[in-house]
């Protein structure tokens, strides 16, 4: 039987807005990280932190009046996003975060730098997404931001959360944060005092019944989706989300009834059920 069990009482304030870009901006600010904590089994080379969910709730509350204005007058946001020529969702997410950070009247951060390259001679050592001064603590913070979608397999342990490209795994991303992206002690002649990963998106559990336990590091304040290769019954009324809607769906149904030969993310009409449909041959591929 195809059954999706979803909590209906999660706080998802981004859904109150009508303009799609503003809904997505609100999601990027208000949604909690997909992880509630850094998994204990992760071996850290360079330590970093995750913002608590209540921190993002506070940021959204402070920005709410601005979002209401943008919902009626989105031109400024539209023009800002025109700088982005890529269709990659991760870069789009970064642009939304940058737009919010530049609105300095609504939060305690001052942008010291964005996309900062660290170069030694002819070699590029890496790049920092954001260097910020937190005016409440007077500390310099390094933020790395990422929008990710991972599907749980086997025993739900850290090693078995796969992205849509199976070489992109959750453990690989976390190791990249620790081993590569947070290696720097300074940037732009500022000493880095705190390091934060802003890791948002969605996690998906297999639709098949399972006795596996959800790990404690999964943030249950963020809605979980389901994934599988099963085709839901016709009366379940799923439709396929457009690629940009993976950040946040439009306020109206944006496509026809689902055609299940196409891999992608699907949403149930009038219900908050997300289903990542994957063809079985794709699931059988393993990257060692």
Interval 68-81 mean pLDDT: 98
> For a pLDDT cut of 90, what percent of the chain falls above it?
82
Distance of alpha carbon 133 from the chain centroid: 23
pLDDT at res. 286: 43
pLDDT digits (tens, 9 = 90+) for 50-59: 999 999 999 9
Q: Alpha carbon of 166 to those of 160, 169, 206, 252, 269: distances in Å?
A: 10, 7, 16, 32, 29
Q: Is 113 helix (H, G, I), strand (E, B) or coil?
A: strand
Asked whether the beta carbons of 92 and 84 are under 8 A apart, the reply is: yes
Q: What is the pTM of this model?
A: 0.93
User: CB-based burial of residue 118 (10 Å sphere; 0-12 exposed, 13-18 middle, 19+ buried)?
Assistant: middle
pLDDT band at 3 (very low <50, low <70, confident <90, very high): low
**pLDDT tens figures, 85-107:** 999 999 999 999 999 999 999 99
Structure confidence by residue, pLDDT tens digits, 249-264: 999 998 877 777 689 9
Average of per-residue pLDDT across 152-179: 96
Q: Is the predicted pLDDT of residue 234 greater than 90, yes or no? A: no
| Degrees, nearest 5: CA angle 178-276-203 | 30
- Asked whether 71 and 19 are in contact (CB, 8 A), the reply is yes
Q: Is residue 12 packed enough to be buried (19+ CB in 10 Å), middle (13-18) or exposed (0-12)?
A: middle
The domains of the chain are located at 13-283
Average pLDDT over residues 194-203: 98
């Amino acid at each position: 039987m195809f059954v999706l069990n979803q909590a209906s009482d999660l706080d998802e304030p981004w859904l109150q807005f009508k303009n799609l870009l503003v809904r997505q901006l609100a999601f990027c600010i208000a949604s909690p990280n997909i992880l509630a904590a850094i998994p204990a089994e992760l071996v850290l080379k360079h330590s970093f932190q995750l913002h608590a969910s209540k921190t993002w709730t506070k940021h959204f509350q402070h920005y709410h009046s601005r979002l209401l204005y943008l919902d009626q007058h989105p031109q400024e946001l539209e023009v800002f996003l025109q700088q982005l020529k890529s269709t990659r969702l991760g870069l789009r997410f970064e642009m939304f975060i940058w737009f919010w950070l530049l609105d300095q009247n609504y939060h305690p951060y001052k942008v010291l730098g964005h996309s900062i390259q660290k170069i030694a001679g002819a070699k590029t050592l890496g790049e920092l997404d954001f260097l910020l001064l937190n005016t409440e603590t007077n500390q310099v913070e390094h933020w790395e931001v990422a929008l990710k979608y991972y599907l749980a397999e086997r025993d739900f342990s850290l090693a078995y959360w796969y992205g849509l490209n199976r070489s992109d795994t959750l453990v690989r991303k976390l190791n990249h944060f620790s081993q590569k992206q947070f290696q720097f002690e300074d940037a732009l002649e500022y000493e880095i005092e705190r390091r934060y990963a802003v890791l948002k998106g969605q996690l998906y559990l297999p639709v098949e019944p399972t006795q596996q336990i959800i790990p404690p590091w999964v943030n249950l304040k963020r809605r979980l989706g389901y994934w599988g290769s099963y085709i839901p019954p016709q009366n379940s009324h799923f439709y396929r989300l457009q690629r940009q809607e993976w950040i946040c769906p439009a306020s109206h149904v944006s496509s026809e009834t689902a055609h299940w030969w196409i891999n992608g993310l699907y949403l149930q009409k009038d219900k908050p059920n997300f289903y990542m449909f994957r063809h079985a041959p794709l699931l059988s591929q393993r990257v060692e």
